[in-house]
Amino acid sequence: MGYVSTLPDGKVSIRLHVQPKASKSRIVGFHDGCLKIAVAAPPVEGKANKAVVRFLADFFGVPVRDVVVVSGAQSRKKMVVVHGYDASAIREAVDKAVDHS
């Protein structure tokens, strides 16, 4: 799937479609070529972006500082960069989560 790519500097980017104000934070599946995640936080004052970062850091087992929203801060479509993880490991983890949802 094209939602994950490796950047020239070796970092991995993930294209997201974010659903704020969900009942709980979770990986939903895929939407429009993006990984769709739901977060419980509202899209107010950056709360949803912070929730996205915390959720992905917990999901991938990396420190919060290693997940950065690089574009789409004011949009449901976001691009995040994850440090310390490779694209194939991200795909594998996401595939397991989607299969067991």
The domain locations on the chain are: 4-99
Q: Are 77 and 15 in contact (CB under 8 A)?
A: yes
The correct answer on CATH 3.30.1200.10 for the domain covering 4-99 is: yes
- What is the per-residue burial (b if ≥16 Cβ within 10 Å, else e) of 54-75? ebbbebbeeeeebbebeebeee
pLDDT value of position 1: 56
Sign of the four-CA dihedral 67, 19, 86, 96: positive
Taking the C-alpha atoms of residue 31 and residue 17, their distance in angstroms, rounded to an integer, is: 7
Three-class SS state of 100: coil
Tokens 């979770």, residue located: 26
Tokens 């500082």, residue located: 65
Q: Write the pLDDT tens digit of every residue in 64-93.
A: 999 999 999 999 999 999 988 889 999 999
pLDDT value of position 99: 67
pLDDT value of position 29: 94
pLDDT value of position 98: 85
